Amino acid sequence: MKNTLWYLGFLSLLSLLYFVTGEIGFLGFAVFALYFTIYKGNNEGLQINACLATRNAFLFVVLVGAISLFYINITQNKSFFPTTFFLLFSGSIVISLLPYGYYNSKEENYENKN
């Protein structure tokens, strides 16, 4: 699992399309660069920590998605859709990988103490 997930970091190169097209949605791909940080984890720790971290991302997507759709419905501002998808897409990856890094460092500190 470890050797395949970190390859997702190469999707961050798609964010360069923002400079060509000017569409903010392409900037969401820049957060895939965080996947390069998970290369050094072991497989068992990766699975446990990924489960813990994706729980936070799921809650973020549900709450921010509901709030954004409510805002779009109230204001009838359809131009907010690309920004909403950018927020949901990049936010869920960041909120998933930052706790993963925390859980992984906590596990390494525990192993160093023993």
The residue type at 7: Y
Q: For residue range 61-101, list pLDDT tens digits in order.
A: 889 989 988 998 999 988 888 888 888 888 888 888 788 77
Element containing residue 108 per DSSP (H, E) = helix 81-113
Q: Using the Cα atoms of residue 86, residue 92, residue 95 and residue 98 in order, give the sign of their dihedral.
A: negative
- The larger pLDDT score, comparing residue 65 to residue 23, is at 65
70 in Cβ contact with 7 (< 8 Å): no
Domain limits, the chain: 2-113
Residue with structure tokens 């984890």?
41
Which is more confidently placed, 65 or 10?
A: 65
Token code pair at residue 60: 């973020």
pLDDT at 75: 92
- Higher pLDDT: 52 or 84? It is 84
How far apart are alpha carbons 90 and 93 in whole angstroms?
A: 5
Does residue 114 surpass a pLDDT of 90?
A: no
pLDDT band at residue 13 under the 50/70/90 scheme: confident
Token duo for residue 41? 């984890």
